[in-house]
């Protein structure tokens, strides 16, 4: 076989190998999107531009827990009210020598730990039940003294309230002193609770506050709570407050500095910030025209009218080589559970092929030199 024929054969073998598939660290954009022009595609492809970013922002969110709303602040009374389960200590002062409640020589009778029953009442000797639920300590004292007046006209009443479990809020995890905290008044708010419980632990990543109230759940980040006074929600008895670090994340893949699960460092992350969190695009491998965001929407978000995704699975494409694409990437928000894929540049594959061809040519030249 002539040297020329051998060279042609080797080149053909190299090109065949390249055509089959060269080893790469990431897919090429055209490979991922090759189905977009199919008659019945299984996913939707959308190019993200400055023009369509505002419309895309109105689409239903995906990957969120579904309770990212929070009650605004309001004002309650600065005094506390009596509730079922509270205990009351009562001291009745009576200067009469023949008092029904005091023993000879004593000037007061002490009744400790009287529990407010399920009907909101307490029992007192000679006056039977007195309804005190919903009253302040001052109001309850006045009512008890009024009920005692017919039998103890000169009596003076002292009252001390010990709030029961139904008048507390629980704070769980993420603070210096978790536990149950009594409501000192009806004007006790979330920031008061955080201060009383030792503050949020400093090592939590973008800490979030979850408020459990009956069957409802509310959530907000600590940074947003601290920056907006209208979010300092009023607490109600039996509320539970949970402080945890942010568990929302997206997946980084492809020709980037990091291929891993990346947690949200703040409330919202844009596509450009996501690329930065991924360690940027590889200078020698990545295709800056082919940054893809893969997202799966819930079935209820599908909108045939165009006000939402037409399919559950959507691929958003971003071109970071143009000003339009860069500005769009600064506004387009990443959703939890998104996959951000930095595709590989086709030039990388071409360079690999040319390198292989060059190597073959070098080997061929050496073979010719030896044969001659």
Helix (H) or strand (E) holding 347: helix 346-371
Helix (H) or strand (E) holding 62: none
- Domains, the chain, ordered by start: 3-21+352-371 (no CATH), 29-64+248-344 (3.10.560.10), 87-162 (3.30.1950.10), 166-244 (3.10.560.10)
In order along its 372 residues, the chain shows pLDDT tens digits of 555 555 555 555 554 554 445 555 567 888 888 877 778 889 999 999 999 999 999 998 877 665 568 888 877 666 678 888 888 898 888 877 777 777 776 778 888 888 888 888 998 888 889 999 888 888 999 998 888 888 888 888 888 887 776 778 999 999 999 999 988 877 889 999 999 999 999 999 999 999 999 889 999 999 999 999 899 999 988 899 999 999 999 999 999 999 999 999 999 999 999 999 999 998 888 999 999 999 999 888 898 877 889 999 999 999 999 999 999 999 999 999 999 999 998 765 444 444 444 544 454 555 455 555
Q: Are strands 208-213 and 240-244 parallel, antiparallel or unpaired?
A: antiparallel
Ramachandran angles phi, psi of 141, nearest 5°? -60, -45
Instruction: Tell me how far apart the alpha carbons of residues 346 and 360 are, in angstroms, rounded to a whole number.
Output: 21
Q: Are strands 87-93 and 313-318 parallel, antiparallel or unpaired?
A: unpaired
| Confidence at residue 77, expressed as pLDDT on a 0 to 100 scale | 63
Tell which residue, 126, 188, 195, 200, has the closest CA to residue 163.
188
Contacts of 182 (CB under 8 A, 6+ apart): 163, 167, 168
Per-residue DSSP letter, 165: G
Helix (H) or strand (E) holding 222: helix 222-227
Tell which residue, 244, 245, 217, 252, has the closest CA to residue 334.
252
| Confidence at residue 372, expressed as pLDDT on a 0 to 100 scale | 54
Q: Are strands 156-162 and 87-93 parallel, antiparallel or unpaired?
A: antiparallel
- Beta strands in 85-215, from DSSP E residues, in sequence order: 87-93, 108-115, 121-124, 128-131, 156-162, 168-172, 179-182, 208-213
Instruction: Tell me how far apart the alpha carbons of residues 128 and 141 are, in angstroms, rounded to a whole number.
Output: 15
**CA diameter of the chain:** 138
- Three-state DSSP class for residue 114: strand
Cβ proximity of 304 and 370 under 8 Å: no
Residue with tokens 């051998």: 6
Tell which residue, 258, 277, 274, has the closest CA to residue 340.
274
| Confidence at residue 354, expressed as pLDDT on a 0 to 100 scale | 45
| Confidence at residue 284, expressed as pLDDT on a 0 to 100 scale | 85
| Confidence at residue 353, expressed as pLDDT on a 0 to 100 scale | 45
- Three-state DSSP class for residue 250: strand
- Positive/negative CA dihedral, 92, 97, 99, 105: positive
Instruction: Tell me how far apart the alpha carbons of residues 124 and 121 are, in angstroms, rounded to a whole number.
Output: 10
């Amino acid at each position: 076989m002539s040297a020329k024929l051998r060279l042609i054969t080797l080149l053909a073998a190299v090109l065949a190998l390249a055509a089959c598939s060269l080893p790469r660290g990431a897919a090429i954009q055209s490979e991922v999107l090759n189905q977009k022009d199919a008659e019945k595609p299984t996913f939707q492809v959308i190019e993200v531009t400055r023009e369509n970013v505002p419309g895309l922002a109105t689409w239903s969110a995906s990957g969120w827990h579904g309770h990212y709303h929070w009650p605004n602040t309001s004002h309650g009374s600065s005094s506390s009210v009596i509730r079922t389960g509270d205990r009351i200590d009562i001291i009745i002062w009576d200067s009469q020598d023949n008092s029904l409640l005091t023993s000879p020589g004593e000037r007061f009778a002490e009744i400790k730990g009287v529990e407010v029953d399920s009907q909101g009442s307490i029992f007192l000797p000679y006056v039977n039940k007195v309804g005190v639920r919903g009253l302040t300590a001052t109001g309850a004292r006045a009512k008890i003294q009024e009920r005692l007046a017919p039998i103890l006209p000169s009596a003076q009443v002292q009252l001390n309230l010990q709030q029961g479990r139904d008048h507390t809020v629980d704070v769980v995890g993420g603070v210096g002193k978790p536990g149950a905290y009594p409501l000192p008044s009806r004007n006790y708010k979330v920031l008061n609770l955080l201060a009383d419980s030792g503050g949020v632990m400093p090592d939590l990543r973008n800490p979030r506050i979850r408020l459990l109230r009956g069957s409802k759940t509310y959530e907000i980040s600590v940074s947003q709570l601290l920056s907006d006074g209208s979010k300092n929600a009023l607490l109600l008895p039996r509320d539970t407050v949970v402080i945890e670090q942010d568990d929302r994340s997206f997946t980084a893949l492809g020709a980037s500095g990091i291929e891993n699960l990346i947690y949200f460092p703040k409330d919202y992350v844009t596509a450009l910030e996501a690329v930065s969190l991924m360690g940027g695009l590889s200078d020698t491998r990545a295709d800056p025209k082919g940054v893809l965001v893969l997202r799966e929407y819930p079935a209820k978000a599908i909108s045939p009218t165009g006000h939402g995704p037409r399919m559950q699975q959507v691929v958003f494409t971003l071109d970071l080589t143009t000003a339009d694409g860069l500005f769009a990437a600064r506004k387009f928000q990443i959703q939890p559970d998104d996959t951000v894929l930095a595709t590989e540049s086709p030039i990388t594959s071409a360079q690999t092929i040319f390198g292989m061809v060059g190597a073959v040519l070098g080997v061929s030249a050496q073979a010719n030199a030896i044969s001659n």
